Amino acid sequence: MTKETIKAEPTKELFVKMMIRDIPLDRAILDLIDNSIDGAHKLRDDENFDGLFTKLTIEKDKFIIEDNCGGISRDILLNQAFMFGKPTNYESTNHSIGRFGIGMKRAIFKIGNSFNLETININSKSNMDINIKEWLKDNKWEFTTNIEDISTLEQDTKTIITITNLHPNISDEFNLEYFLTKLKNDLAFTYSLILNKNFNIFINGEHIRRKEFEIINDANLMPEIINFTFPLEERDEDKLINIKIIAGVSKERDLKQGGWYIFCNDRLILEADKSNITGWDNNELPKYHPDFAYFRGYVFFDSKNAELLPWTTTKTGLNSDSSVYKATSFEMKKALKKVISFLRERAKQESSFKKEKIDNNPLTKLIEEDSIEKNIIEFKNNNDQSFNYIVDNPKNIENIPNGGTISYWKSNEDLNKLKDYLNLSTNKDIGEYTFDYFLELVNENE
């Protein structure tokens, strides 16, 4: 009897296909930008990124990303940058947003079949030209680069990745104006807090402007603010996660923009979420609906060690099973309950005002007219505070005219269709709206 070795390593082609299968094109591009921002973090401990940039050139036959964020050093290029995953001795960056060590490779494979990487670090210069189809043919998990030692100034460092021989479906997407418009919007949202630190992103020469995230905060209407660290007993900064929760209301009643916004190390990973992952539609809290469209909630996870943060590999969702998110979710639900109670009271008050049962509608007026919004950036150092509002109660109107109740049955399908069309939340609202609408027509024709 002899012992034989059984081959068990994956084929390159299978590995590459599995890597790119579950990530959308726009998210793959964001992974490349994440690497540039991590380079900026290495250069600037004070987080003032003035003068640093990422420039994207997106055309039907090529994709180029260029940055001036320090370049890739000889050691990292040869021993880390093109490994699939992070080695145990990986040189980490504090507060990074590149976590898993697959983003650059995955993006390149997602976009095309050939790439060139040119990088200049303060101590070295390198250039590599790779045909991915040829690389896939053998089982050597290696790339070849031309590299030389140099000495240059930090401001002259750069990295340029040029991807050509694009996959046909990628080329088609790059040719769509809709894709570029959506990508620009995604960048404005995703990197809003980083753009606020004077980092610059360009697409085909257009400078991306950050999205402003705002919430009402003044003497008469204050958001809930919760700060804590996880784990609670931990004191080592390298193992700590700092969490800040801000929950309140916006002046704008917007169904799409209402919900929770989740950030990990200042990168947006979840936008306007209204699912049970962030507390909605469960045993304790209702499903999101138009009465809650004023709600805005922001959660910030920050850690020196990005691996501790509760995000998925595509950075488009939360790992709801993580201990830190379970602890945070508990606090989010408490804050959400307070704001929902306020918004329900506002909706009841508005309904009573429309029926002329009360003389005014102060809660809606408090939100839309008498409040001051502040950018969430201004809350960075705020201590804990409770959701609170101050308003004069409306007066009841005594002479309410006599009336009666109308009741009739309609299918849920038709009721839901009208709710969506009329932006109403209850069957009662539909009945009153349709009655008033028909009555107005009758009065006009008399």
For residues 225 and 256, is the Cβ–Cβ distance under 8 A? no
The pLDDT assigned to 331 comes to 96
- HEC-encoded secondary structure of 87-146: CCCCCCCCCCCCCCCCHHHHHHHHHEEEEEEEEECCCEEEEEEEEHHHHHHCCCCCCCCE
Tell me if 394 is assigned to some domain: no
Q: What is the pLDDT of residues 302-311, one digit of tens each?
A: 998 888 999 8
The HSE-up count of residue 313 (CA atoms within 13 Å, CB side) is 14
* Domain boundaries, position 416: 412-440
The structure's pTM equals 0.84
Tell me if 405 is assigned to some domain: no
For residues 101 and 314, is the Cβ–Cβ distance under 8 A? no
Please indicate whether residue 40 or residue 416 has the higher confidence score (pLDDT): 40
Q: How much of the chain exceeds pLDDT 90, in percent?
A: 61
Q: Taking residues 64-83, report their average pLDDT.
A: 91
For residues 278 and 245, is the Cβ–Cβ distance under 8 A? no
For residues 74 and 121, is the Cβ–Cβ distance under 8 A? yes
For residues 53 and 167, is the Cβ–Cβ distance under 8 A? no
* Same-domain status, 245 and 154: no
Tell me if 1 is assigned to some domain: no
Q: Is 184 left (phi over 0), alpha (psi -120 to 50) or beta?
A: alpha
Tell me if 406 is assigned to some domain: no
Q: What is the pLDDT of residues 312-371, one digit of tens each?
A: 877 888 888 899 999 999 999 999 999 999 999 999 999 888 888 888 899 999 999 889
Please indicate whether residue 128 or residue 234 has the higher confidence score (pLDDT): 128
Q: Taking residues 69-87, report their average pLDDT.
A: 85
Please, which pLDDT band fits residue 4 given cuts at 50, 70 and 90?
confident
Is the predicted pLDDT of residue 64 greater than 90, yes or no? yes
* Same-domain status, 244 and 136: no
* Same-domain status, 177 and 58: yes
* Same-domain status, 168 and 232: no
For residues 296 and 258, is the Cβ–Cβ distance under 8 A? yes
| Range with the largest mean pLDDT of 17-21, 44-48, 55-59, 301-305 | 55-59
The pLDDT assigned to 52 comes to 96
Domain stops at, among 207, 228, 247:
207
Structural domain count of the chain = 3
Tell me if 380 is assigned to some domain: yes
* Same-domain status, 223 and 324: yes
Q: Looking up tokens 């809350």, which residue turns up?
A: 379
Q: Looking up tokens 């964020």, which residue turns up?
A: 69
Residue 402 has what DSSP assignment?
P
Is the predicted pLDDT of residue 99 greater than 70, yes or no? no
The pLDDT assigned to 226 comes to 97
Q: Is 259 left (phi over 0), alpha (psi -120 to 50) or beta?
A: left
* Same-domain status, 267 and 190: no
Tell me if 407 is assigned to some domain: no
Is the predicted pLDDT of residue 190 greater than 90, yes or no? yes
Q: How much of the chain exceeds pLDDT 70, in percent?
A: 95
Task: Find the CATH number of the domain harbouring 28.
Answer: 3.30.565.10
Element housing 233 (H / E): none
* Same-domain status, 200 and 109: yes
Element housing 43 (H / E): helix 25-43
Please indicate whether residue 46 or residue 318 has the higher confidence score (pLDDT): 318
Please, which pLDDT band fits residue 248 given cuts at 50, 70 and 90?
very high
* Same-domain status, 156 and 250: no
* Same-domain status, 175 and 291: no
d(CA 62, CA 335): 47
Domain stops at, among 207, 225, 247:
207
The HSE-up count of residue 232 (CA atoms within 13 Å, CB side) is 4
The pLDDT assigned to 442 comes to 82
* Same-domain status, 298 and 375: yes
d(CA 368, CA 351): 16
Tell me if 224 is assigned to some domain: yes
The pLDDT assigned to 86 comes to 67
* Same-domain status, 61 and 92: yes
The beta-carbon contacts of 47-54 under 8 Å, at least 24 apart in sequence, are: 47/197, 48/197, 48/198, 49/194, 49/197, 49/198, 49/199, 49/200, 50/198, 51/198, 52/198, 52/199, 52/200, 53/199, 53/200, 53/201, 53/202, 54/199, 54/200, 54/201, 54/202
At CA 315, angle to CA 314 and CA 317, rounded to 5? Answer: 100
Mean pLDDT across the chain: 89
Tell me if 178 is assigned to some domain: yes
Q: Looking up tokens 């290029």, which residue turns up?
A: 77
Q: How far apart are the first and last CA of the chain?
A: 104
* Same-domain status, 156 and 273: no
Task: Find the CATH number of the domain harbouring 254.
Answer: 3.30.230
Please, which pLDDT band fits residue 58 given cuts at 50, 70 and 90?
very high
d(CA 293, CA 259): 8
Domain stops at, among 154, 182, 207:
207
The pLDDT assigned to 80 comes to 85
